[in-house]
């Protein structure tokens, strides 16, 4: 970039200036990127990779949007708090209709929507299976769900594409009247696809059942707990090389309680 | 009359190609005719031929994405079309932001904005720094860095898929080019422009200058959005070598002396 006739001083100045501007630009630019990535309260199309990977893959071409027969999917605009240009849907507006041929995922050229995540093995062949989609999990606000008040409403249960699997009705005695039953909808997180039909159909003014992204709604147990009553899970216990709590650690804890260290700090 | 129209012949053609491409995208998106489906990042021509933005794909790679065959082929087609054949025509014949910045440039000339000096000497090399920075940030943050903020994306996606606040970005860009820096975005900052500038200098289609016909009226330099590429005007015969030339043809169409023309790099007439 040094033009002939320029002194060494000018040349060095130019480099320093360029590097400085690049760093300043990089910091601002990086800040915008972090802001983009922070918008995690978003429902992606079926088969979407997990958030970080999704943002690396998605080209924002909109082919999934164009493939959707129900205009469910939209690309995020500037300023709506989501990663700019990425596809998403808002079930209270238009829910996912759970097409069996999953045209949106099929249309994705970049792999941001991964067919492998919405397929299952049938007789050794991989078949599309929209029911294995995990777009989110429906959560019920039991304070505002009128079925939990004891009123008769089972709209979410009936619109659920996996009725009696993803949403079940629980029969509970209505303690207030003493003579009636409550028919409470209960979401089964293992089966819920996050299509959002329940949220779309909910009769309360603001939906009392809403779909949240897995990353927000789903907890994680970790490896510390094992279901003793589950043969599969119990096997993990045997696979562990060493005991979960070492005696050394246990001694330390005891020492800690038995010495004055407890009151030191 | 015909004279004045002919001095806009490439400009009108460019507006036509830019508009037709956008209209085709809109028609595919609204499910009317499926000729060109997608957007400038990735598109399917006639539902078969993939086309992809090579810089966007490069960012994907740096962000750690697995590149699919379709995307790779699409990026290859686009890259080699510009690099070997057409030159940096994306910027002047395809990109819709060009219509915005050209309008700003036109009004700047007409209203004589910024002729009294001011901060006009931003280096045009910013775009190469921005290009590299885009890749570094893609690597660091694991996402396609420029695609997240690209005014090109915001504008064309907005037209195809709808936008609201996106218009502010476009108006801001227009005002920047109008009031702050002449040919500011496309000629100085845009990393995609930088990418194409750096990769298209060996393309077949080039502007050619014939010194003896030139009357040094400098109309060409007046309209050229990258006037540093026209340094040979009035000095020597030859082709415009720089990849920063967008082959927009403005210099060719305003030249009254037939001293600037489109030509093919290898033809003998260039010598």
- What CATH number does residue B209 fall under? 3.30.70
Most confident listed range (A8-12, A229-233, B4-8, B259-263): B259-263
In this complex, is the C-beta atom of B160 within 8 Å of any C-beta atom belonging to chain A? yes
pLDDT at B19 exceeding the cut of 90: yes
Look at residue B57 and tell me whether its pLDDT is greater than 60: yes
**B73 in contact with chain A, both atoms CB, cutoff 8 A:** no
Asked whether residue B268 carries a pLDDT value surpassing 90, the answer given is: no
Assigned domain for A179 exists: yes
**Do A82 and A125 lie in a common domain?**
yes
CA distance A217 to chain B (A): 24
A220 contact partners, CB below 8 Å, separation of at least 6: none
Give the N- to C-terminal CA distance of chain A in Å, as an integer: 61
Interchain CB contact of A30 with B (< 8 Å): yes
pLDDT digits (tens, 9 = 90+) for B99-155: 999 999 999 888 888 776 555 678 888 899 999 999 999 999 999 999 999 999 999
pLDDT at A264 over 60: no
Residue B123: what pLDDT? 85
SS3 assignment, position A219: coil
Mean pLDDT of all residues belonging to chain A: 87
Tokens coding B92: 């002047």
Whole-number pLDDT of residue A39: 75
Question: Does ipTM come in above 0.95?
Answer: no
Interface test with A, best of B58, B61, B135, B143 (most A CBs within 10 A): B143
E strands present in A84-230: 87-88, 119-122, 125-128, 137-140, 167-173, 181-187, 209-212
In which domain, by residue range, is A141 found?
137-217
- How many other CB atoms sit within 10 Å of the CB of residue B109? 14
- Provide, rounded to the nearest whole percent, the portion of chain B with pLDDT above 70: 95
Q: Is the dihedral of CA B102, B107, B112, B116 positive or negative?
A: negative
Residues of B in contact with A61 (CB under 8 A): 38-39, 41-43
Whether residue A57 is found in the same domain as residue A127: yes
The tokens for A110 are 């970049």
Residue A1 is predicted with a pLDDT of 47
What is the percent of chain B with per-residue pLDDT over 90, rounded to a whole number? 72
Outline where DSSP puts E strands in B36-124: 36-38, 42-45, 49-52
Domain end (from B165, B198, B231): B198
Domain that holds residue B231: 204-270
Q: Which of B167, B183, B198 is the last residue of a domain?
A: B198
Q: Which of B89, B83, B91, B65 is CA-nearest to residue B204?
A: B83
- When CB atoms are compared, the residue of B28, B132, B133 closest to A29 is B133
Domain boundary among B177, B198, B219: B198
Examine the domain organization and report whether B238 and B193 are in the same domain. no
- Interface contact B161, partner A, CB < 8 A: yes
Asked, for residue A20, whether it belongs to a domain, the answer is no
> What residue has token string 């989501």?
A82
Does this model's pTM top 0.90? My answer is no
- Domain CATH code at residue A143: 3.30.70.20
Residues of B with CB below 8 A from A78's CB? 154, 163, 165-166, 168-169
User: By CA distance, what is A35's nearest residue in B?
Assistant: B148
Per DSSP, the three-state class of A48 is strand
Provide φ and ψ at B50, rounded to 5°.
-80, 145
Closest CA to B152 of B73, B72, B53: B53
Is A77 in Cβ contact with B68 (below 8 Å)? no
Are B131 and B25 found together in one domain? yes
**Tokens standing for residue A205:** 């003014």
Q: Are strands B36-38 and B42-45 parallel, antiparallel or unpaired?
A: antiparallel
For residue B270, the model assigns a pLDDT of 46
CB contact under 8 A, A109 and B74: yes
End-to-end CA distance of chain B: 34
Q: Are B121 and B45 in contact (CB under 8 A)?
A: no
Least confident of A195-199, A204-208, B58-62, B223-227: B223-227
Q: Are residues B153 and B219 in the same domain?
A: no
Number of domains making up chain B: 2
Total structural domains within chain A: 2
Residues of A in contact with B65 (CB under 8 A): 53, 56-57, 110-111
Which residue in A61, A79, A106, A107 has the most chain B C-beta atoms within 10 A of its own C-beta, making it the best mutation to test that interface?
A61
Q: What CATH number is associated with residue A77?
A: 3.30.70
Q: Quick one: B252 and B141 in the same domain?
A: no
């Amino acid at each position: 970039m040094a033009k002939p006739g320029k002194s060494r001083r000018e040349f060095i100045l130019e480099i320093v200036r360029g590097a400085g501007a690049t760093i300043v630009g990089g910091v601002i630019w990086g800040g915008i990127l972090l802001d983009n990535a922070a918008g995690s309260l978003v429902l992606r199309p079926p088969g979407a990779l997990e958030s970080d990977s999704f943002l690396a893959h998605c080209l924002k071409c909109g082919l999934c949007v164009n493939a959707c027969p129900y205009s469910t999917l939209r690309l995020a605009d500037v300023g709506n708090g989501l990663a700019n240009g990425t596809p998403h849907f808002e079930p209270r507006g238009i829910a996912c209709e759970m097409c069996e041929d999953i045209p949106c995922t099929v249309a994705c050229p970049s792999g941001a929507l991964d067919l492998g995540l919405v397929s299952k093995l049938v007789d050794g062949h991989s078949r599309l299976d929209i029911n294995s989609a995990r777009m989110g999990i429906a959560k019920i606000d039991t304070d505002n769900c009128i079925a939990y008040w004891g009123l008769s409403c089972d709209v979410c249960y009936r619109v659920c594409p996996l009725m009696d699997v993803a949403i079940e009705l629980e029969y509970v005695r209505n303690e207030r009247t003493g003579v009636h039953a409550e028919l409470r909808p209960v979401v089964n997180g293992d089966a819920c696809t996050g299509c959002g039909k329940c949220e779309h159909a909910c009769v309360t003014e603001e939906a009392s059942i809403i779909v949240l992204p897995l990353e927000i709604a789903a907890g994680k147990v970790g490896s510390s707990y094992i279901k003793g009553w589950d043969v599969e899970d119990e096997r993990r216990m045997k696979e562990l090389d060493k005991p979960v709590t070492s005696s050394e650690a246990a001694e330390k804890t005891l020492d800690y309680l038995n010495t004055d260290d407890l009151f030191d700090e | 009359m015909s004279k004045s129209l002919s001095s806009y012949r490439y400009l009108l053609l460019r507006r036509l190609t830019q508009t037709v491409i956008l209209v085709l995208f809109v028609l595919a998106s609204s499910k009317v005719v499926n000729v060109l489906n997608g957007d400038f990042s990735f598109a399917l021509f006639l539902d078969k031929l993939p086309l992809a933005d090579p810089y966007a794909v490069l960012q994907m790679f740096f962000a750690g994405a697995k590149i699919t065959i379709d995307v790779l082929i699409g990026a290859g087609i686009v890259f080699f079309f510009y690099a070997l054949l057409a030159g940096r025509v994306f910027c002047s014949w395809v990109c819709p932001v060009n219509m915005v910045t050209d309008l700003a440039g036109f009004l700047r000339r007409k209203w004589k904005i910024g002729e009294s000096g001011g901060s006009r000497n931003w280096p045009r090399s910013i775009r190469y720094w921005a290009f590299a920075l885009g890749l570094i940030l893609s690597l660091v943050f694991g996402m396609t860095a420029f695609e997240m903020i690209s005014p090109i994306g915001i504008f064309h996606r907005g037209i195809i898929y709808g936008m609201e606040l996106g218009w502010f970005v476009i108006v801001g860009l227009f005002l920047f080019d109008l009031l702050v820096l002449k040919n500011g975005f496309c000629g100085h900052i845009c990393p995609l422009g930088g990418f194409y500038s750096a990769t298209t200098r060996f393309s077949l289609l080039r502007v050619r200058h014939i010194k003896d016909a030139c009357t040094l009226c400098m109309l060409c330099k007046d309209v050229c959005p990258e006037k540093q590429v026209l340094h040979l005007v009035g000095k020597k015969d030859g082709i415009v070598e720089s990849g920063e030339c967008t082959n927009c043809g403005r210099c060719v169409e305003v030249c009254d002396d037939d001293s600037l023309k489109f030509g093919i790099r290898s033809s003998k007439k260039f010598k």
